[in-house]
């Protein structure tokens, strides 16, 4: 599976992962890597949340654009962002990794450094998974994130009502702008300040929204504001008006509102709040901006309002998952 003198068999790879994760399996993980199943211990009075994501070479990352550390970081960031959108606290991660013949051990080590680096920020143990030989020349990774939240309290997409205000955390479009730069060969794949390579899941924000009872509905911006906002509107049975002048645009995407609306992979949080809610300008150190208002469900699901007050339809233009 791994190249040349750095070749490592499956059992040796699993053992190296187990040893690196052993110190991180205390508390919530009663039994981690090394047995047929992991045993988790969710907190009393909590429900368990589970999310899974594929991370496929050529679709979600490219080895000539993303470092191994970036690929590992991005792999776990996707699931952590899903947990953040529901206000959950991570319990454990499970990774299945398929490597093509000839993959260098150096790349695999870098991948796990990136994955564990972000996992350690949020005290998430890698509690199990699987390894295999890839059926193609591409690396395939499937990660499962398990989290917990107080029973009946998880943030959902379905709670927004007419009159609620629409908020977004951080800024948008930076990841798409950096990806565009990588595509044309002018971008960098180094440095954790880069949103495409090292996105920051908003777990602390999601937990604060739940704890303070601020959000009536929430979703993470993984496929693009327009696509994810559509999901939230459909689940809640409302329409929305987005004020373009208020949308916070990342410095890398300055002046390109289309990247902010449709770019994707920002991993910020979109949430609804009652008009009387005391939503602060920053939550857990992250900027929060009110960018729109939910209205009664109409023939047009989403409307964008420009600086002159002109209203036009906002179509979902972000990432769409296709099969076949």
Q: Indicate the residue among 89, 124, 150 that finishes a domain.
A: 150
Residue among 214, 244, 215, 219 nearest 229 (CA): 219
What contacts 45, CB < 8 A, 6 or more positions away? 150, 151
Residue 289 is predicted with a pLDDT of 98
Within a domain: residue 324? no
* Bridge partner residues of 47 (DSSP): 149
290: exposed, middle or buried (C-beta count within 10 Å: 0-12, 13-18, 19+)? middle
CATH code, 179: 3.90.650.10
Judge if 106 and 57 occupy the same domain: yes
Length of the chain: 324
Residue 24 is predicted with a pLDDT of 53
Judge if 305 and 219 occupy the same domain: yes
The total of other beta-carbon atoms located within 10 Å of residue 184's CB is: 7
Residue 191 is predicted with a pLDDT of 45
Residue 318 is predicted with a pLDDT of 62
Judge if 301 and 189 occupy the same domain: yes
What crossing angle do the helices spanning 105-121 and 68-85 adopt, rounded to 10°? Answer: 30
Q: What is the DSSP string of 20-58?
A: HHGGG-SSSEEE-BTBSS-EE-PPTTEEEEEEEEEEEBT
Judge if 144 and 80 occupy the same domain: yes
Overall number of domains in the chain: 2
C-alpha distances (whole Å) from 106 to each of 11, 37, 68, 193, 211 are 17, 28, 9, 23, 42
Judge if 118 and 223 occupy the same domain: no
Residue 131 is predicted with a pLDDT of 86
Judge if 173 and 63 occupy the same domain: no
Residue 182 is predicted with a pLDDT of 82
Q: Distance (Å, rounded) from C-alpha 21 to C-alpha 26?
A: 10
DSSP assignment letter at 5:
G
Give the SS3 label for residue 125.
coil
Judge if 48 and 134 occupy the same domain: yes
Q: pTM for this structure?
A: 0.89
Judge if 235 and 296 occupy the same domain: yes
Residue 23 is predicted with a pLDDT of 46
Q: Indicate the residue among 125, 150, 175 that finishes a domain.
A: 150
CATH code, 131: 3.30.1330.10
Q: By residue range, what is the domain housing residue 179?
A: 165-313
Within a domain: residue 175? yes
Within a domain: residue 158? no
What's the distance, Cα to Cα, between the start and end of the chain in Å? 28
How confident is the prediction along the chain (324 residues), in pLDDT tens digits per residue? 555 434 455 555 555 555 455 545 456 776 777 778 889 989 999 999 999 999 999 888 999 889 999 999 999 999 999 999 999 999 999 999 999 998 999 999 999 999 999 999 999 999 988 888 999 999 999 999 999 999 999 999 999 999 999 999 999 999 999 998 887 665 554 444 578 999 999 999 999 999 999 999 999 999 999 999 999 999 999 999 999 999 999 999 998 999 999 998 999 999 999 999 999 999 999 999 999 999 999 999 999 999 999 999 999 986 544 333
Q: Which two tokens stand for residue 194?
A: 């880069």
Within a domain: residue 320? no
């Amino acid at each position: 599976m791994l190249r040349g003198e750095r070749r490592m068999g499956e059992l040796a790879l699993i053992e190296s992962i187990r040893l690196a994760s052993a110190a991180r399996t205390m508390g919530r993980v009663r039994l981690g890597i090394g047995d047929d199943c992991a045993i988790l211990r969710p907190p009393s009075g909590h429900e368990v949340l589970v999310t899974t994501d594929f991370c496929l070479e050529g679709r979600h990352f490219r080895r000539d654009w993303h470092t191994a550390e970036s690929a590992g970081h991005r792999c776990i960031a996707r699931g952590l962002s899903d947990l953040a959108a529901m206000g959950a606290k991570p319990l454990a991660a499970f990774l299945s990794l398929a490597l093509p013949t000839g993959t260098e051990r150096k790349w695999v080590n870098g991948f796990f450094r990136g994955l564990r680096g972000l996992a350690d920020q949020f005290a998430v143990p890698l509690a199990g998974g699987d390894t295999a030989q890839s059926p193609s020349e591409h690396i395939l990774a499937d990660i499962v994130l398990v989290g917990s939240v107080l029973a009946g309290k998880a943030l959902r997409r379905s709670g927004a009502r007419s009159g609620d205000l629409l908020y977004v955390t951080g800024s948008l479009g930076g990841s798409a702008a950096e990806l565009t730069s990588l595509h044309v060969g002018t971008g960098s794949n180094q440095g954790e300040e880069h949103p495409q390579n090292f996105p920051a899941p908003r777990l602390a924000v999601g937990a604060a929204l739940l704890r303070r009872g601020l959000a009536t509905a929430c979703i993470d911006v993984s496929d693009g504001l327009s696509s994810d906002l559509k999901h939230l509107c459909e689940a809640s049975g409302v329409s929305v008006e987005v004020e373009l002048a208020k949308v916070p645009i990342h410095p890398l995407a300055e002046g390109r509102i289309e990247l902010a609306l449709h770019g994707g992979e920002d991993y910020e949080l979109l949430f609804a709040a009652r008009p009387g809610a005391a939503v602060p300008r920053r939550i857990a150190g992250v900027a929060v901006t009110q960018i729109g208002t939910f209205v009664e469900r109409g023939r047009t699901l989403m409307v964008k309002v420009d600086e002159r007050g002109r209203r036009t339809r906002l179509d979902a233009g972000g990432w769409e998952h296709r099969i076949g």
